[in-house]
Chains A and B, each alone.
Chain A
Amino acid sequence: MSRTMTRMDKPQGFSRRTLLQATGALVVSVGAPMTSTSVRAAESGAATATKPPLTPDQLSSYIAVNADGTVSAFSGKMDMGQGLSVAFRQMVAEELDVPVDRVKLFIGDTDTSVNQGGASGSTGVQNGGKQMRAASAEARRVLVGMAADKLGVPADRLTVKDGVVSTANDANNKVSYGALIGGRFFNVHLDWNGQMGNPLYAPGKAKPKDPKTYTIVGQPVPRDDIAPKVFAQADFCTDIKVPGMVHGRVIRPAVAGAVPVQVDEASIKAIPTARVVWDNGFLGVVADKEWDAIKAAKELKVEWSKPAPPFPNQAALYDHIRQAPVRKRELEGRQAGNVDDAFKNAARVIEAEYEWPFQSHSSMGPACALVEVKDGRATCWSGTQKAHYVREGVAAMLGVTADKVRVIWTTGPGSYGRNDADDAAADAAVLAKAVGRPVRLQYMRDQGTGWDPKAPASIHRARAALDASNNVVAYDFLSKGFSRLDVNTNGSNPRDTLAGQNLGVALKSGDGFGVPGESYGFANKRAAWETIAPLLDRSSPLRSAHMRDPVGPQICFASESFMDELAAALNLDPVAFRLRYVRDPRDLAVIKAAAQKAGWQARVSPRRDQRGNNVSGRGIAYAQRGPTRVAVIAEVEVDRGSGRIRARKFTVAHDCGQIINPDGLHHAIENNVVQATSRTLWEEVKFDANNVTSVDWRTYPILDVTEAPEAVDIVTINHPEIAPSGAGEASSRPVPAAIANAVFDATGVRIRRAPFAPGYVKSALS
């Protein structure tokens, strides 16, 4: 029995400072022999032959010009396949005046990028792009300054085209970026705001371009990462192999919360090279061949402890949420007037309650990570959304400082938030430390679906007070549910990973939920949330965390369904109701644009002109998500006999400020709409008293291609003058309510619980 002794509560010498003093080792080489021009460039003070330290206040941490004049850009944001990379390349190319195909992007490698928060809350373009743009503008300013010295012409008389600086009146008096600095490094300080992660911002002295002059930003430049994948030439993180590597698998208990008490290693002795790693609640196996590791995990005889069944009857989940003590309550968003008084004086009160289940990321493949420890340094390949945080987590598991760990983000099998990727990295680190070999770990399907962090289940109560002339005078909205931060958004701390929890670290469940994003101008308004404790505090398959547009779809499902209920109660057309009460001009614009594009006919819902089994309807919902706003109109058909809903067509109006790449934006919107439709119609994590029972695609069904919409019509509203904001998740948000409102329009029946699966809808209709 190989038992590891792993201690990770306080790894030696580990501190955030070590992260900030990131290593200067540059692995992506942009170096080249010195030339006479580059010597001169160095003399200007803006360039240096050795790379300055990888810190947020160095221009070289973001931009380098290579000897051949191509540009390398480095970012601590990551592209989950929504085209962030090409958007970054466009922003860099635009500011530097180089062709976009001469910009190469390196993302998510902790050795070449600073911690910019990773993929997080659709801030890729919003924050990461802002930094890219500022750094590129500064690089251009510095380069033009160097050219001015070289050409003996004032900088304001120089122009740049395709990476060549020339004088405005004599195109032959010119010098290229490559000749100015190629192969050397910027030695330029930026005005860093002192923040790490999402809020990091470090501009230079340059002012980015006027959007009116853009020629690259705003164009549908294709992604360069698709062809290699389509021709099977690109490695996913699941494909990385290193010499001496073994395959790992972890073993999870049948009863959540159980820990191994007896492990019979002899039960797998017939499997070549198989070994057990058991420490406290952590149990895994490794073997040289992947199939052997899988067999060993399956065949290992384990006696587990027998904890009391941890979960309530699933049918009682929403009652549990209603009755559970509130752990934290918070008011959030715009509060107005005196809500309680307004309700006391109301002529009429309308109220409703909505319910949303636990949902699983169920990424296309279960998470995978490879951890190699070699010569006192560790390397982790991971599909995580947050490489710099995983670096801290892996370091903690290995008991080393973070500067000894490099995480190389490599495309993973799909990601929509805090999925199982960070757990896999921590598990792989534990295995690698125990066996002293590089370990590649991929979870099995039942672990990817059954044991990933879940989107929290919740209930939502909405009330509105009407005066005697049917005006809405007060609105009160409350969500109560499991926290979106029961485990944190990243695996930097062992307590937020299953490995850490299985090894026994002290727990700390965080609190967070949210409120509707909208601009209804009701005179009295209150929005609040309440969180409750997790059902099982340690190593729970129902631990809750961020999943695509964290808590956005469920809150908007309730708030925008309720607005529709108000419209119906007031005998108003749903679009007209929103136009009456919504205040923000950009919000109004998306609502109007969607209605116009969809050919919306004003009338009160529901339709009353349909007989027969198949009925159809349309519904609208809208939301703000940060500075982005989206309106969605759904057109559905309902088969009353079976309860089956077909979401036939969507019309989406989307405003995320300045559009960087319209093609990427269209894809992001379509994919959000389809995934959110899946979550609305089908997705619910099932569990019994012992464990989660949604463990594969049969027990956690998602939308099938035969049910995919016939059309997703998109209107994008471009505001070149407004800073770009997130588009990676926003269009998910209004989809559930738009469908619910369309079902009401079709049937006159209000569905207040997701998912709208046929059995449930059928019973609601009868």
Chain B
Amino acid sequence: MTKKFSLNVNGQVHDIEADERMPLLYALRDELKLNNPHFGCGLAQCGACTVHLDGKPTRSCVTPLAAVGDRKVVTLAGLGTSEHPHPLQTAYVQEQVPQCAYCINGWIMTAAALLRDNKKPTDADIRTALHGLKCRCGTHMAILRAVKRAAAMMG
């Protein structure tokens, strides 16, 4: 059923009218014309669509609009900018992490929550926190380096 929604995305409030079952991903991409996050699977299996909902990494491809409520949505673009980058973004650039880069929402948004809650993660902590995310290009070694580099920057 079509309903009215107020979405708080990266600090801005947007009013939209859409099917309440429509996943947040399509509201962000189609209605708000935000090009992040990406569609990877639509099945909560890969992370390409990850955003923060009140700080919690969430797969927007399976989050119906009706379930968003008044929680604050933050996308990769809202995490940091080239002027004020999040340490993970800086580390990603310094480590030259991605190949195709289509996966980066999942890894950066999920790692950002980890580093917020765990200032000194071990290698095992990082791998466990990132478990399940996909990078088909196989950039895992560089991802792990970047998360460690960001942790060092923040700690």
Tell me the A residues contacting B by CB distance below 8 Å.
Answer: 80-83, 222-223, 225-227, 229-233, 235-236, 238-239, 241, 289-291, 362-366, 411-415, 442, 444-445, 663-664, 667, 670-675, 678, 696-698, 702-706, 708-709, 712
Q: What are 30 of the A-B contact pairs (CB < 8 Å)?
A: A229-B101, A230-B89, A230-B92, A230-B108, A231-B76, A232-B35, A236-B35, A289-B26, A290-B30, A291-B30, A363-B102, A411-B100, A411-B102, A412-B102, A413-B38, A413-B48, A667-B96, A667-B142, A670-B138, A671-B137, A671-B139, A674-B138, A674-B141, A675-B136, A696-B41, A705-B135, A705-B140, A708-B144, A709-B141, A712-B141
Residues in A with CB closer than 8 Å to B85 are 231
Task: Name A413's contact: one of B18, B102, B141 (CB within 8 Å).
Answer: B102
Please tell me if the beta carbons of A674 and B140 are within 8 angstroms of each other in the complex. yes
Assembly CA distance A222 to B95 (angstroms): 9
Residues in B with CB closer than 8 Å to A289 are 26, 30
Assembly CA distance A712 to B144 (angstroms): 12
CB-nearest residue of chain B to A222: B96
Known A238-B38, A413-B38, A671-B139; further 19 A-B contacts with Cβ < 8 A: A80-B99, A81-B99, A226-B92, A226-B93, A227-B93, A229-B98, A229-B101, A230-B92, A232-B76, A291-B18, A363-B136, A364-B100, A412-B100, A414-B100, A445-B41, A667-B139, A675-B136, A705-B143, A708-B144
Task: Name A238's contact: one of B39, B104, B127, B128 (CB within 8 Å).
Answer: B39
* A696 and B43 contact, Cβ closer than 8 Å, known pairs A238-B38, A708-B140: yes
Assembly CA distance A225 to B30 (angstroms): 24
* Docked complex: B78-108 residues within 8 A CB-CB of A: 80-82, 85, 89, 92-93, 96-104, 108
Q: Which 6 A-B pairs have the closest CB atoms?
A: A674-B138, A81-B99, A675-B138, A232-B77, A708-B140, A239-B35
Interface residues on B, range: 35 or more
Assembly CA distance A51 to B48 (angstroms): 42
Residues in B with CB closer than 8 Å to A230 are 76, 89, 92-93, 98, 101, 104, 108
Task: Name A232's contact: one of B33, B36, B141 (CB within 8 Å).
Answer: B36
Residues in B with CB closer than 8 Å to A411 are 100-102
Assembly CA distance A241 to B96 (angstroms): 28
Please tell me if the beta carbons of A290 and B96 are within 8 angstroms of each other in the complex. no
In the complex, B22 has a CB within 8 A of chain A: yes
Task: Name B26's contact: one of A83, A223, A291, A705 (CB within 8 Å).
Answer: A291
* Docked complex: B99-155 residues within 8 A CB-CB of A: 99-104, 108, 127-128, 130-144
* A364 and B131 contact, Cβ closer than 8 Å, known pairs A230-B104, A411-B101, A415-B100: no
Assembly CA distance A225 to B104 (angstroms): 13
Residues in A with CB closer than 8 Å to B141 are 670, 674, 708-709, 712
Assembly CA distance A223 to B26 (angstroms): 31
Residues in B with CB closer than 8 Å to A444 are 42
* A413 and B100 contact, Cβ closer than 8 Å, known pairs A226-B93, A671-B137: yes
CB-nearest residue of chain A to B128: A706
Please tell me if the beta carbons of A229 and B104 are within 8 angstroms of each other in the complex. yes
Cβ of A412 to closest chain B Cβ, rounded Å: 7
Task: Name A364's contact: one of B36, B102, B142 (CB within 8 Å).
Answer: B102
Cβ of B4 to closest chain A Cβ, rounded Å: 16
Cβ of B14 to closest chain A Cβ, rounded Å: 16
Q: Pick the most buried of A414, A415, A712: most chain B CB atoms within 10 A of its CB.
A: A414
Cβ of A286 to closest chain B Cβ, rounded Å: 14
Cβ of B69 to closest chain A Cβ, rounded Å: 19
CB-nearest residue of chain A to B108: A230
